[in-house]
Amino acid sequence: MAELAFYSGTMNCGKSTLALQTAYNYQQLGHRGMVFTRGDRAGSGKLSSRIGLEQDAYEVDASTDFWEVVSNERTLGGRVDVLICDEVQFYTERQVEQLARIVDEIGIDVYGFGITSDFRTKLFPGSARMIELADRVEVLQVKALCWCGKRATHNARTIDGVMVTEGEQVVVGDVNSGTVGYEVLCRYHHRQRMTAITAQATMGEDPLPNAWNAQS
């Protein structure tokens, strides 16, 4: 039976790496997969991970109709065994419903990968709909770490290193890139709005060694 599976977590938890590995595993078995992403750090039409892996992908936008894309591919004689969908948090609710329909009515496995919640700790619409519809939801086990050494559970948006809690839900950026950046924090330091930069300014030194010592 085909399934709709959702692999979720914070930034830095390895979701894009797992998406690439899943696509590779299917390719090694001779299966034909379609790989989708939206707003990847490597640019349009790319699926990449922070550890340097990358491959071409179909770029998703608000007008993408997955049912139509897959149907057209099959009508033209293309084989489609699996869909690998990264950055699912940026998909619309309707697009997630299309993915569920593909599983149920065509029998194609769909694996979605995405961040669960935004910098305000609110669920992304795409991720929320995946959780509601998926046959299986997996929280990735690779630990993303807060600057204090605890497991990171929340995504923070920063402007010049200072955490913000208001603004548009989607602003493309990456860790330490430009004015807008993103950082993963434990719940406590997200509530305190204390990023690595603000912690360093407060303590007057690198906070990480002291944080590790305090926990040991």
- Among the listed residues 87, 97, 105, 138, the single catalytic one is 87
The identity of residue 27, as a single letter, is Q
Q: Is 97 a catalytic residue?
A: no
Q: Cα–Cα distances in Å, from 51 out to 15, 44, 166?
A: 11, 19, 30
Q: Cα–Cα distances in Å, from 207 out to 103, 177, 182, 189, 213?
A: 47, 21, 18, 13, 10
Rounded Cα gap, residues 47 and 39, in angstroms = 9
Residues with a known catalytic role: 87
